[in-house]
Amino acid sequence: MLEIKNLHVKLEEEDKQILKGVDLTVEAGKVHAIMGPNGSGKSTLSYVLSGRDGYEVTEGSATLEGEEILEMEPEERAAAGLFLAFQYPVEIPGVGNMTFLRTAVNAQRKARGEEELSAGDFLKVVREKAKSLKISPEMLKRPVNVGFSGGEKKRNEILQMAMLEPKMCILDETDSGLDVDAMKLVAEGVNALRDEGRAFLVITHYQRLLDHIKPDVVHIMADGRIVKTGGPELALEVEQNGYADILSEVA
Amino acid sequence: MAVAQAKLDATEARLAGLTMPEAAGWTKPAREEALARLLAVGLPGRRDEYWKYTRPDLLTAPEPKPAALFDHGEPPVFDEIERLKIVFVDGVFDAAASDPLEGEGLEIARLAEAQGADIHWAKDLYGQLEKDGQDPVERPLATLNTAFATDGVLIRATGKVKKPVSLMYLHRSETSDAVLHHVIRVEEDAELTVLENGPAAARFNKVMEVDVAENGSFHHIRAQGRDHERQAATHLFGRVAKEATFKSFTLTVNGVLTRNEIVLDIRGDDAVAHVAGACVGDGDFHCDTTVFITHDAVNCESRQVFKKVLRNGATGVFQGKILVKEGAQKTDGYQISQSLLLDDDAQFYAKPELEIYADDVACSHGSTSGAIDEEALFYLRSRGVPQADAQDLLVLAFLAEAIEEIESEEIADCILARLEGWLSRHRG
Ligand SMILES: Nc1ncnc2c1ncn2[C@@H]1O[C@H](COP(=O)(O)OP(=O)(O)O)[C@@H](O)[C@H]1O
Ligand SMILES: [Mg+2]
């Protein structure tokens, strides 16, 4: 599904190399987790994949279902099936959440040559999905993420994901700042989307989330590289011993 | 202070092309008095403090600069609204295109025809609110208008008028120079909505005097478009009585020069006055909003919400003042003026002012100028919304606070549709 090869990324504005050769392949139907200390480049990886400005790819490639994505516009990547649940979802005053969702869904359908959803059909689907994430109709009316609590913002990300039905879902610390109940809701939302044709890349610090979203593969990222890859047991090891042991072992 | 000779010469040159109507009737004293006032101060000049950000030359020149006609192919903005239409073509009343000047709770007369009749309510208002609005800042273009207006409408609302009165200004001649003066009186407990739209003329000088009596309610929504080269100076003078409501919204799109002055005198306790505006400009565009609100009563609320979206060398100006007189306690005054600059060439000048002589008041003002929020833009694009659509969405979001000031959803939708049309024609 997603294949990243020898990806090197520096900041556009300053001479600072952040990703120093990332190799990662996520197969369709699988859940991969990335763990790693703060500042190791996890968010940078997710931003570069989704096309945010400010980074320069100096080497390497990333393909989604065989198609090179690094040259695409962010909206083209989205239409190709990539989705990033932001670590810090953005507030957009003046744009209603519902308008935002409908615009996004229909823009992607249009880009893929599909018919737009009617207002009625759209409303029905949103209401149902929002309900299972405990997002109130009132929250749907409010401007995007404005005045939302941390947990509400993260649930709103999952709602967007559920509406857009992407093929490749990247979740950047979707669990941080969530209480146990909210985390369960988020995990249920993700698990409901698990499917043979869909893959997940879950960035997290905690085993906690991975208790609910069972990963197939766990990667450890440090200083801009994937330094270790293993099964779910790797996450447990991090939970018990921290990163120090793993990092000294690979150093 | 002596007025510079050059200014008086320029004023004389402009006046040479104007004549007072022969049958001015009851408006004659007001017109003559206005002419005397105008000659004493002269027309605005480039050095005037009040015209620091806007060059008045095009508005004061003896002849208007020709303005080409432009058709964007969309139906007129308020076409969906059931309304009473009054049409002026290049400042000349068009009876055939207008509806009969009558309606429940309404008295309407054309200024050009009414001057011979005894319209007692208008007698006390014509040129009077304009004159009151000259202190402490002179507005000579409005004074010129009082003296030389060729036509306009006198509207009196005596009850709750259901259908909006819609003033439509069509522009057919590239060299037209129109001077219109409207007088509106909303009687006690009465309600009236007035719509205005159109490019009007190559050059347009318009005054609207509005007197809202106790517990009366006046709503005004105007859409200024659309010809790129037209020039306009408009003045809206309002006097607001006890418990009355005065709300005015202006959309400005296109136009090389627009100067909109709004002068409100809040005279009665517990009154509410809101003025708002949205403007979008691309290229050779200059829109100046100049507001002066005087609070002279207790427990009144005033709101100014003005938003300008500018690109490609377009210029926006906001001069807004709240004056709270001694004794105008419990005044709640809010003023915000913001611009969204879509590139580095766009310019915005703001001069917000508060002058307060009462101690128990809550007044706030703010002015900002900024670019599109790149984080929000990326967020939208990452969800699949193409860049241009995402930008339009953010532009409309920026303008939302101003558009929300329009109470009628139906009318707000007309304004939104016009904005969306404009945005789709001005991409990239
Ligand atoms: N726009 C930026 N400007 C400056 N430094 C940045 C920027 N983006 C990322 N960095 C730096 O790159 C490194 C990796 O950051 P990030 O990808 O956010 O790590 P993580 O998500 O793993 O905590 C950090 O040292 C961070 O300070
Ligand atoms: Mg991060």
Residue A234 vs residue B305, higher pLDDT = B305
Length of chain B: 428
Q: How far is the CA of A43 from the centre of ligand 2 (A)?
A: 4
Domains held by chain B: number: 1
Nearest CB to A108; choose among B378, B384, B396: B384
Confidence band for A246, pLDDT divided at 50, 70 and 90: confident
Q: What pLDDT is attached to residue A150?
A: 87
Cα(A157)–Cα(A189) distance, rounded to whole angstroms? 10
Q: Choose the residue to mutate in A13, A14, A35, A43 for probing ligand 1, maximizing ligand atoms within 8 Å of C-beta.
A: A43
Tokens of A225: 């590289």
CB A49 within 8 A of CB A94: no
Q: Taking CB atoms and an 8 Å limit, are B380 and A100 in contact across chains?
A: yes
Q: What pLDDT is attached to residue A175?
A: 86
Q: How far is the CA of A172 from the centre of ligand 2 (A)?
A: 7
Q: What pLDDT is attached to residue B428?
A: 65
**Residue B391, domain member (yes or no):** no
Residue A247 vs residue B305, higher pLDDT = B305
Contacts of B393 in chain A (CB under 8 A): 95, 99-100, 103
For residue B283, give the DSSP letter.
S
Q: Taking CB atoms and an 8 Å limit, are B397 and A93 in contact across chains?
A: yes
Q: Choose the residue to mutate in A44, A45, A176, A202 for probing ligand 1, maximizing ligand atoms within 8 Å of C-beta.
A: A44
Q: How far is B248 from chain A (nearest CA, A)?
A: 21
Query: Nearest residue CA, atom 8 of ligand 1?
Result: A44
Angle between helices B28-41 and B140-148 (to 10 degrees): 150
Q: Taking CB atoms and an 8 Å limit, are A95 and B381 in contact across chains?
A: no
Q: Is the CB of A54 under 6 A from ligand 1?
A: yes
Listing from the earlier edge strand, what are the strands of the sheet with A2-11?
A17-26, A2-11, A55-64, A67-68
Q: Choose among A105, A155, A106: nearest CA to A129.
A: A155
Residue B409 vs residue A236, higher pLDDT = B409
Cα(A56)–Cα(B226) distance, rounded to whole angstroms? 43
Q: How far is B175 from chain A (nearest CA, A)?
A: 41
Which ligand has the shortest distance to the CA of A243?
Answer: 1
Per DSSP, the three-state class of A43 is: helix
Cα(B159)–Cα(B141) distance, rounded to whole angstroms? 33
Confidence band for A251, pLDDT divided at 50, 70 and 90: low
Confidence band for B251, pLDDT divided at 50, 70 and 90: very high
For residue A232, give the DSSP letter.
T
User: Mean pLDDT score of chain B, rounded to an integer?
Assistant: 95
pLDDT tens digits, one per residue of B170-208: 999 999 999 999 999 999 999 999 999 999 999 999 999
Query: Nearest residue CA, atom 18 of ligand 1?
Result: A43
Q: How far is B338 from chain A (nearest CA, A)?
A: 14
Q: What pLDDT is attached to residue B204?
A: 97
Inform me whether the pLDDT recorded for B1 exceeds 60: no
pLDDT tens digits, one per residue of B123-137: 999 999 999 999 999
Q: How far is A189 from chain B (nearest CA, A)?
A: 18
Among all residues of chain A, which has the CA nearest to that of B373? A92
Inform me whether the pLDDT recorded for A208 exceeds 60: yes
Q: Taking CB atoms and an 8 Å limit, are A53 and B378 in contact across chains?
A: yes
- Closest ligand 1 atom to the C-alpha of A87? 21
Q: Is the CB of A11 under 6 A from ligand 1?
A: yes
Helices and strands, counts by H and E, chain B: 10, 20
Q: Is the CB of A43 under 6 A from ligand 1?
A: yes
Cα(B246)–Cα(B57) distance, rounded to whole angstroms? 32
Q: Domain residue spans in chain A?
A: 2-249
pLDDT tens digits, one per residue of A109-155: 998 888 988 888 899 999 999 998 888 889 999 999 999 988 889 99
**Residue B421, domain member (yes or no):** no
CB B198 within 8 A of CB B168: yes
**Residue B408, domain member (yes or no):** no
Cα(A40)–Cα(A45) distance, rounded to whole angstroms? 10
Contacts of A51 in chain B (CB under 8 A): 378, 381-382
| Chain B interface, best mutation among A47, A50, A52, A75, by max B CB count within 10 A | A75
Its domain, for residue B58, covers 5-373
User: Residue A136: phi, psi to the nearest 5?
Assistant: -75, 155
Cα(A67)–Cα(A216) distance, rounded to whole angstroms? 24
CB B150 within 8 A of CB B177: no
**Residue B403, domain member (yes or no):** no
Q: Which residues hold their Cβ within 5 A of ligand 2, which is an ion?
A: A 43, 87
Q: How far is the CA of A171 from the centre of ligand 2 (A)?
A: 10
Q: What pLDDT is attached to residue A209?
A: 86
Q: Which CATH class is domain A2-249?
A: alpha beta
Contacts of B420 in chain A (CB under 8 A): none
Q: Taking CB atoms and an 8 Å limit, are B383 and A50 in contact across chains?
A: no
pLDDT tens digits, one per residue of B218-234: 999 999 988 999 999 99
Q: What pLDDT is attached to residue B22?
A: 87
* CB proximity B370 to A under 8 Å: no
**Residue B380, domain member (yes or no):** no
Q: Taking CB atoms and an 8 Å limit, are B397 and A103 in contact across chains?
A: no
Q: How far is the CA of B77 from the centre of ligand 1 (A)?
A: 49
Q: Taking CB atoms and an 8 Å limit, are B400 and A94 in contact across chains?
A: yes
pLDDT tens digits, one per residue of A39-98: 999 999 999 999 999 999 999 999 999 999 999 999 999 999 999 999 999 999 999 999
- Closest ligand 1 atom to the C-alpha of A18? 12
Place of tokens 């407990």: B189
Q: Is the CB of A51 under 6 A from ligand 1?
A: no
pLDDT tens digits, one per residue of B36-94: 999 999 999 999 999 999 999 999 999 999 999 998 888 889 999 999 999 999 999 99
**Residue B158, domain member (yes or no):** yes
- For every residue of B302-339, DSSP letters joined together read EEEEEEEEEETT-EEEEEEEEEE-TT-TT-EEEEEEEE
